[in-house]
Chains A and B, each alone.
Chain A
């Protein structure tokens, strides 16, 4: 008995085991609450949610909806990165352009874009186009800001010496500015991914014909918490994976800069 207590204590001393333990305790609490305390119309125990994952995927249209949402996220993110890179470089490389347009970009970044969500639906329809556009509107600004900050942080002496050694404009861009921008570029991509996820999911939840927003509404209105939890768990897992990919890329590509 005492040896069991000692092993337990030595296990708990490792933070990650204690962390997993905390998560498990949370799930156990949820299971107990859902089974005995709360109306099953509203809350469903995690064991049942896990069992029902198959049923979620078997629901007609759900796999296609997940594919569409994933596609919207991918396209919105790619567009945010490309447009953000171009605008960021255009604004960041020119001190005058930066002084003139940065306040406008900051102002746009500071406005709650969710107020104009109905306009996006009006202009781009209720299909995937409006979700992509809204995702881009959320993802583009952190990327622009990060690129402008990255360009600013390049030491002027590097630019001067490259030019004095006879580098062309393109060569300066390719060999001095790009390598120095990489860490902030990836930091911006991470924030941009957070924004794209927020924008696309907001638009999906607002109105949707084929994406996951349609099914979350359907399951909510049918008081089907089991499948709703299942679908949201799948989406949360998707978001975590996407975030993690971008974060890993950031760590990987900014390594050379550390020394």
Chain B
């Protein structure tokens, strides 16, 4: 057999293992709920879950909560992206500032910022403001740190070469600094987006009035398990779609520089 054919066969085999794994999981789930008498409060019937999911999608009940969560996410990310890139850029312009402030930012970043959620709730209330503030804080650090790393460590040779060829400040920024820094900044933005999404859904779960995280908790407290599983599947799908879109945008942005 040719190596290419062998590789294709290997790929097919591992794909079928993955498919078998998923099918086995669903069959076990189904059997557990129908045959083995696992309480429907712990594990609802998968058929019921699919029906509920269909009902949620058809009735459009999710629109309100989805809009709340996405609005929070959009505002939080807009705040952290603009402030993170601006502050990161300003810091990266001097070695002194990098050496003073970068370890400080990295240190704060290593503290689990979710700890401050009770404070944010105290300051900003139970509504969207506290989620926006928390999401913006958490996603600020990866964006700012990557902006510092992007602009701060551009190879000196490029800068000197551009200057000696008579580049102006604007030209230096446009043709040397920005292309060198952009891939790293985009990576920071993707990381920031992911943690912003996580922390917003998380803080909605812990204390909130609306949003997808709130909806899941609400259903859990009402013991409507099938609908809750359906919502979990929905939120996971939304998160995966958003993360895929952001990764694709990141890859695209990197290609264009």
B36 lies within 8 A of chain A by Cβ: no
Q: Would A201 and B17 count as touching, CB distance under 8 A? A: no
Number of interface residues of B (CB under 8 A): 46
Q: Would A239 and B112 count as touching, CB distance under 8 A? A: yes
* Chain A residues near B202 (CB-CB < 8 A): 114, 117, 202
Q: Would B96 and A96 count as touching, CB distance under 8 A? A: no
**Chain B contact residues: helix, strand, loop or mixed:** helix
A156 lies within 8 A of chain B by Cβ: no
Of the candidates B18, B115, B240, which one forms a contact with A110 in the assembled complex, judged by CB atoms under 8 Å apart?
B240
Q: Would A103 and B118 count as touching, CB distance under 8 A? A: no
Q: Would B118 and A240 count as touching, CB distance under 8 A? A: no
Of the candidates B11, B112, B235, which one forms a contact with A194 in the assembled complex, judged by CB atoms under 8 Å apart?
B112
Interface residues of B in 39-83 (CB under 8 A from A): 41-42
Of the candidates B104, B112, B205, which one forms a contact with A19 in the assembled complex, judged by CB atoms under 8 Å apart?
B104
Q: Would B119 and A232 count as touching, CB distance under 8 A? A: yes
Docked Cα-Cα span, A111 to B121, in Å, equals 26
B189 lies within 8 A of chain A by Cβ: no
Docked Cα-Cα span, A228 to B122, in Å, equals 10
Query: Closest CB-CB distance, A160 to chain B, in whole Å?
Result: 19
- B109 and chain A: residue at smallest CB distance: A194
Q: Would B104 and A206 count as touching, CB distance under 8 A? A: no
* Chain B residues near A119 (CB-CB < 8 A): 220, 232
Query: Closest CB-CB distance, B236 to chain A, in whole Å?
Result: 5
Of the candidates B10, B110, B121, B235, which one forms a contact with A99 in the assembled complex, judged by CB atoms under 8 Å apart?
B10
B153 lies within 8 A of chain A by Cβ: no
Interface residues of A in 227-241 (CB under 8 A from B): 228-229, 232, 235-236, 239-240
- A229 and chain B: residue at smallest CB distance: B119
Instruction: Report B's interface with A, CB cutoff 8 A.
Output: 10-11, 13-14, 17-18, 21, 41-42, 96, 99-101, 103-104, 107, 110-112, 114-119, 121-123, 197-198, 201-202, 205-206, 212-213, 216-217, 220, 228, 232, 235-236, 239-240, 243
Given contacts A15-B99, A112-B236, A118-B220, 20 further A-B contacts (CB under 8 A): A19-B101, A99-B11, A100-B13, A110-B243, A112-B239, A194-B112, A201-B114, A201-B115, A202-B114, A202-B205, A205-B117, A225-B119, A228-B119, A232-B115, A232-B116, A232-B119, A236-B115, A240-B107, A240-B110, A243-B111
9 CB contacts below 8 A, A to B, read A19-B101, A100-B13, A104-B21, A111-B240, A119-B232, A206-B205, A225-B119, A239-B115, A240-B110
